[in-house]
Structure 1
Amino acid sequence: MTIFTIPGLILWLFIIPFCIGLIPMPWIPEKNRNVGVTVTAGYLIMLPLCWLVTVPCILLVEYDSFLVMVRWFTVLLAAGAAAGIGICIWAARKGKRVLRLQPPDIMEMTWGERLGWLVFLGLVAWQLYKAFTLTSFDGDDAEYVAQSLVTVQSNTMYRILPYTGGTTSLDIRHSLAVLPIWIAYIGRMTGLHTTILAHSVLPFVWIPLTYMVFYEIGKHLFRRKTEKVQGGLSLFMVFIALFQMFGNVSIYTNETFFLTRTWQGKAVAASFVIPVTIWLMLWIFDGEEEKKRRRKKEPVAAIWVLLVLTNMTAGVCTSMVVFLNVVLIGAAAFWLMIAEKKFSILIKAGCVCIPNGIYMLLYLFLHA
């Protein structure tokens, strides 16, 4: 670890995703163009880009495949960040706001709301403190973290058994879920050991990012501010944080994965990808309702594109959620179609799930 490690982590984990996340901002409703949505969109673009570069390198390059992946992925990230900055400059010249930087008006909040937000921030800070200072030993780390470390040290991907260090044929089972390779990439670019990166740094990415998504979900659930739901958003966030802290009733719960196995693909899929899918479906539903009530057309094309990217991000994490997300989107789109009496919603949902179908076919082909 050098003096350049921390600036490198800030660059690759926050600045680059933020710049990439600026790309879709002009095509989403202006009220939703905040920093949290931008960073979330950045990760929803960055991780699928990682998959699109990594999988061909795994399948087509036998030796030094990781080096090839690093070069191409770095070029794509640089191009994406430049595109985001360019779009921001273009929008500014057109007189459009890409970001809506409006901090919450604390003076308009009731004392109950202020107390609720203070409690929530305290709970999140406590979770981050515990995630950094405590170590959770998990058997799956022999695959996830060791795979990242072997990748960095050998410059090959899924060609060495992480359990023994011996060479093997291509590990088909794990080769399509490339989150360990993304961790290896961040480790290579920052010079930080992948074990330290996974256990001590990534919780500071995924935990706040997950709560940003739940915050956006809460904004949709409590969008009508009446006396009955005054302060409802802050209470919602407090309850979410408490559920995460006290959900360790089994080693299989989402809450257990969220706080003790934060860096693993299954944890990211359950804690981040599925909530993002729910958030985007709520966003689409609210957009349809807003259009019907005010007869004002909101830009929603980018939301459907983000849903496509969410499905691709599911494939980066674990193959299981690729299928589960299809079921979730299909069920939500079916009820939205009935509510809005628009069959086109179901067609759009089907198009959104095309990457999932391609992923499943590729998985079956490689296992044949």
Structure 2
Amino acid sequence: MLFVKALLIIIWAMLVPYLIGLLFRSKIVKNDSQNAGHALLTGYFIMFAFFYLLTMPLLLKSASLHLLVNIFAITCSVASLASIVICRKHIKNHAISVLVFLSKSSPIFLLALILILIQGSVLTLYQHIDEDDAFFVATATTAVETDTIVEYDPNTGAPLVNYHMRYVMSPFPIYTAVFSELVMMHPTIVAHNVFPAIFIPLSYLVAYLILSTFFTRQREHADYALFFLAALTIFGNVSVYTSSSFLLFRIWQGKAMLANVILPGLFLYGIHAMQRSRMNTNWIIVAFCVLAACLSSSMAVALAPCLLGVLAVVYAVRQRRFTPLIMSGLCLVPCVICGVIYLTSVVIK
């Protein structure tokens, strides 16, 4: 049974996101020359965005959790199977390129990889208890036990009367609940032991892709930067509010994912979209990132527009075009909608 669960984790945490991202990049992003890392990261953003768009109407309709699980699982499975059939040559090329990449890796990159694996395995093998889990993990557990989507108070078990819109509009704990159902594990175990092994390396993948964007054709510089980032992160617990603390001690929470994976990913693909003079399909990935941000935390309503807005202003001035500003505004529509709903709920109260 343990082998089956481990296999399910590999499928839903690595293979499915990679295959979905590969299908999108090979068929939508024309002349895409990006590597398997971009396919995996893009796949995660697509899955998060789809999950958010799927969850919100089902939540408002008071649908059951198992209905959400079934629709999400079937859709992702169909997309993954289609990717295997359509992109089989790309899969083979990516497998070869990954092996070549690792075989040509410098010692400093291997040291960085070891540090990252250690950081990802600590919470998997040991335990850290965070006070916020009394709400976030309890919400996921309550959803599984009651087969509902945010209908019961995780603190008391009583039916919710007054909804906290900041949590309703950012239902990342429900993703934890759905993932736990897909891999047949308890939500608490998924949050505390499985997600750190997945999302901590994913955070460093985003960082390395950003470094590779800045150090084009200078892999050695990117390797050293990744090593120092991984080393400094270990000593970043000078406050419970640092990005290092959120990464290493509570990555299973939506706000930690926002800070360490989604916003850096938005920065990465925002640069890719804006640095090209013509309209390009990278803007679709930016839109996926914004939806993923809305899923993760209510803070995305302010932080995502700030990040993308600064990038848009810089590139608009640099290129003397309004396209970055216009496209960024369109991509940020979900944040505007969520912000209006938050403010409306506050005024009504």
The answer, yes or no, to whether TM exceeds 0.5 is yes
* Alignment of 1:16 onto 2:11: no
1:180-191 equivalences under 5 Å are 180-191=173-184
Partner residue in 2 for 1:291: none
CA distance in 1, matches of 2:25, 2:241: 36
| Residues 72, 103 of structure 1: alpha-carbon distance in 2 compared, 3 angstrom cutoff | closer
Distance in structure 2 (CA, Å) of the matches to 1:170 and 1:87: 48
Deviation at 1:258, TM superposition (A): 0.2
* Equivalent in 163, 167, 186 of residue 193 of structure 1: 186
User: What is the SS of the residue equivalent to 2:23?
Assistant: coil
Q: 1:81 offset after TM fit, Å?
A: 2.4
CA drift at 1:29: 6.6
Distance 1:106 1:149, change over 3 A: closer
3-state SS of 2:87 partner: helix
In 2 relative to 1, CA 2–330 (structure 1 residues): closer, same or farther, beyond 3 Å?
same
SS at match of 1:156: coil
Q: Which residue of 1 aligns with 2:232?
A: 243
Structure 1, residues 223-262: CA drift from partner, whole Å, max 9, x if none?
Answer: 154xxxx721111101111222111100111110100001
* Deviation digits for residues 164-186 of structure 1 (CA, Å, limit 9, x no counterpart): 22222263331111111111111
1:192-223, Cα deviation, whole Å (9 max, x unpaired): 01111111111111111111111111111111
Change over 3 Å in CA distance of 1:281–1:104 after alignment to 2? farther
Q: Classify 1:267/1:168 alpha carbon distance in 2 versus 1 (closer, same or farther; 3 Å).
A: same
Q: Against the structure 1 CA distance between its residues 149 and 337, is the aligned structure 2 distance closer, same or farther, given a 3 Å change threshold?
A: same
Aligned residue runs from structure 1 range 346-357, under 5 A: 346-357=325-336
Q: Contact (CA 8 Å) 1:25, 1:99: kept in 2 or not?
A: no
2:45·2:288 contact (CA, 8 Å) conserved in 1?
yes
Q: How far has the Cα of 1:97 moved from its partner?
A: 9.0
Corresponding residue number in structure 2 for 1:131: 123
Question: Which residues of 2 match residues 156-171 of structure 1 at below 5 A?
Answer: 156-169=148-161, 171=163
1:105-131 C-alpha deviation (Å, 9 max, x unpaired): 67996xxx7221122112112212322
2:207 is the alignment partner of 1:214: yes
Aligned to 1:121: 113
Judged with a 3 Å threshold, the aligned counterparts in structure 2 of structure 1 residues 273 and 67 are, in CA distance, closer, same or farther, namely same
**Larger CA deviation: 173-182 vs 159-168:** 159-168
Separation in 2 of the partners of 1:282 and 1:48?
20
AA in 1 matched with 2:313: F
Give me the TM-score of the superposition, normalised by structure 1.
Answer: 0.86
- Report how many residues are paired: 344
Letter in 1 for 2:12: W
After superposition, the CA RMSD in angstroms is 2.5
SS in 2 for 1:186: helix
**Structure 1 contact 8–189 (Cα < 8 Å) conserved:** yes
2:140: which partner in 1?
Answer: 148
Aligned residues with identical type, % of pairs: 27
Task: Return the offset for 1:98.
Answer: 9.7
Offset of residue 79 of structure 1 = 3.5
Asked whether the 8 Å contact 1:202–1:263 carries over to 2, the reply is yes
For 1:273 and 1:20, locate their aligned partners in 2 and report how far apart those are by CA, in whole Å: 17
* Alignment-derived partner of residue 292 in structure 1: none
Deviation at 1:65, TM superposition (A): 2.2
Q: Which of 319, 328, 337 lines up with 1:358 in the alignment?
A: 337
| Structure-2 residue corresponding to 1:45 | 46
Which residue of structure 1 aligns with residue 250 of structure 2? 261
Q: State the alpha-carbon separation in 2 of the partners of residues 133 and 198 from structure 1.
A: 13
Q: Distance in 2 between matches of 1:220 and 1:255?
A: 22
Query: 2:86 & 2:286 partners in 1: Cα distance?
Result: 21
Matches within 5 A, 1:241-320: 241-288=230-277, 301-320=280-299
Most deviating of 267-276 and 7-16: 7-16
Per-residue deviation, residues 137-190 of structure 1 (Å, max 9, x unmatched): 111000111111111111112222212222222633311111111111111122
Does the CA contact (< 8 Å) of 2:36 and 2:98 recur in 1? Answer: no
Q: Is the 8 A contact 1:49 1:76 kept in 2?
A: no
Gaps of 5+ in 1: 289-296
Provide the C-alpha distance between the structure 2 equivalents of 1:58 and 1:203, rounded to a whole number of angstroms: 27
Structure 2 counterparts to residues 228-239 of structure 1, below 5 A = 231-239=220-228
TM normalised by structure 2 equals 0.90
Q: Residues 20 and 43 of structure 2 are in contact (CA less than 8 Å); yes or no, is this contact kept in structure 1? A: yes
Report Cα offsets for 1:247-284 as digits up to 9, x if no partner. 11001111101000010001000000111011112323
- For the Cα contact (< 8 Å) 1:265–1:318, is it kept in 2? yes
